[in-house]
Amino acid sequence: MKVLGIETSCDETAAAVVTAERAVLSNLVLSQIDEHRIYGGVVPEIAARSHLDHLDRLVHTAMDEAGLDYGDLDAVAVTAGPGLIGGVIVGLMTAKGIAAAAGKPLIAVNHLEGHALTARLTDGIDFPYLLLLVSGGHCQLLTVDGVGRYRRLGTTIDDAVGEAFDKTAKMLDLGYPGGPAVERAARGGDPDRFPLPRPLLGRDTLDFSFSGLKNAVRLTIQSLAQPLSDQDKADVAAAFQLAVADVLADRVRRAMAHFAAHHGGIRRFVVAGGVAANQFLGARLGNVADQEGFVLHVPPPALCTDNGAMIAWAGLERAQAGLSDPLDLAPRARWPLDPDAAPAKGAGVKA
């Protein structure tokens, strides 16, 4: 089985072809970083127009690199949400056209499911497993029991961790994209210089909160002599990153105990999403996994950030389960992995 995957939910235009044998025949990602850098963040209209300009060429190149004609495909998979609706529409309409013209099934993929199943593409791990999904728009702990079978254990009640990284970078004038910029700056910083808060640390909950931490960073910056020195910036970045690591480690440790107790002692743990590429956080979570007897799986950095291979693989898994979607399927700006989860409570809640 061979599946084409298309991803356009944010600011990466991506197309890839994967096989049921877990072979990635092509995986192309066109970043829009330069187009958004002057604004300090993603501008939805610019993102959608860029997808429109480049997607057709990227898809054709992905098919050429895979050495396939459209008739050789078994299905066409595409991110149908959640994401910036303009970009989602561009990808979905392109996939519908290809599926209709080639007479192939259309597979609508939840972008978060793409991240959730990536470790099965890269590591071939079995269900079930515990998942920490961390990105610019999402921060969730979930149990992954099978394709389309997700149970949310905890989520952010305000801001996602990736968003907090981006805002911290912007406040420190570290450049865009913010996550890698903060990580680089933190390497030369003293994490103990500034006593930042650890929201919800030690609480009997699996939810996250980063709004207060973000505000504490703002107040800390305002308390310092202006303009900030490079060392000031490094120290704030290091303190922020350590606070995030402490919070994630605390939540994950509690989730591991819950997961093992409800899954017969199974101890598989996956970290996915763009923030999973942060080496400092990855090392900290690896230590927690070792201490709790869990096996940690983190996809390679290129497959942690948004890409077409994860969408193609999720589509392939859905196709193997006998799932497909009609050509009149509508795009979705919001699309929770666990629709039965109780609504999170807090300002700026992410679904």
pLDDT of the residue at 346 = 59
Q: What is the pLDDT confidence band of residue 103, given thresholds at 50, 70 and 90?
A: very high
pLDDT of the residue at 326 = 97
Task: Specify whether the CB–CB gap between 290 and 263 falls below 8 A.
Answer: no
Residue 278 lies in a domain: yes
Residue 102 lies in a domain: yes
Q: Are residues 278 and 316 in the same domain?
A: no
Look at residue 79 and tell me whether its pLDDT is greater than 90. yes
Q: Which amino acid is at 33?
A: I
Q: What is the pTM (predicted TM-score) of this model?
A: 0.94
Place of tokens 């850098």: 37
Residue 349 lies in a domain: no
Q: Are residues 198 and 84 in the same domain?
A: no
Distance CA 219, CA 191 (A): 16
pLDDT of the residue at 78 = 98
**Average pLDDT for residues 268-288, to the nearest whole number?**
95
Q: Are residues 97 and 193 in the same domain?
A: no
Place of tokens 């350590």: 242
Q: What is the pLDDT confidence band of residue 349, given thresholds at 50, 70 and 90?
A: low
Q: Are residues 222 and 73 in the same domain?
A: no
pLDDT of the residue at 38 = 80
Residue 344 lies in a domain: no
pLDDT of the residue at 37 = 82
Residue 315 lies in a domain: yes
Number of domains into which the chain is organized: 2
Among candidate residues 255, 245, 306, 246, the one with its CA nearest the CA of residue 278: 245
Q: Are residues 8 and 105 in the same domain?
A: yes
pLDDT in tens, 288-326: 999 999 999 999 999 999 999 999 999 999 999 999 999
Q: Are residues 95 and 167 in the same domain?
A: no
Q: Are residues 9 and 109 in the same domain?
A: yes
pLDDT of the residue at 113 = 97
pLDDT of the residue at 206 = 95
Distance CA 131, CA 128 (A): 10
What six digits make up the tokens of 95?
A: 């996939």
Q: What is the pLDDT confidence band of residue 36, given thresholds at 50, 70 and 90?
A: confident
Residue 251 lies in a domain: yes
**In angstroms, what CA-CA distances link 90 with 49, 175, 219, 331?**
9, 28, 40, 10
Residue 173 lies in a domain: yes
pLDDT in tens, 147-190: 999 999 999 999 999 999 999 999 999 988 899 999 999 999 99
Distance CA 331, CA 92 (A): 7
CB proximity list for 261: less than 8 A, separation 6 or greater: none
Q: Are residues 193 and 293 in the same domain?
A: yes
Q: What is the pLDDT confidence band of residue 244, given thresholds at 50, 70 and 90?
A: very high
Here the CATH number for the domain that contains residue 102 is 3.30.420.40
Q: Are residues 164 and 285 in the same domain?
A: yes
Q: Are residues 73 and 133 in the same domain?
A: no
Look at residue 29 and tell me whether its pLDDT is greater than 50. yes
Q: Are residues 315 and 286 in the same domain?
A: no
**Average pLDDT for residues 36-45, to the nearest whole number?**
84
**In angstroms, what CA-CA distances link 102 with 105, 156, 318?**
9, 41, 19
Q: What is the pLDDT confidence band of residue 348, given thresholds at 50, 70 and 90?
A: low
Q: Are residues 25 and 42 in the same domain?
A: yes
pLDDT of the residue at 330 = 97
Q: Which helix (H) or strand (E) holds 79?
A: strand 75-81
Quote the mean pLDDT of the chain.
95
Distance CA 115, CA 277 (A): 13
Task: Specify whether the CB–CB gap between 331 and 85 falls below 8 A.
Answer: yes
Task: Specify whether the CB–CB gap between 158 and 339 falls below 8 A.
Answer: no
pLDDT of the residue at 351 = 47
Task: Specify whether the CB–CB gap between 171 and 183 falls below 8 A.
Answer: no
Domain that holds residue 262: 127-298
Residue 93 lies in a domain: yes
Look at residue 283 and tell me whether its pLDDT is greater than 60. yes
Q: By percentage, how much of the chain surpasses pLDDT 70?
A: 98
Collapse the DSSP code of 100 into the 3-class scheme (helix H, G, I; strand E, B; otherwise coil) and give the result.
Answer: helix
**Strand partners for 243:** none
What six digits make up the tokens of 319?
A: 């196709």
Length of the chain: 351
Place of tokens 């998979």: 77
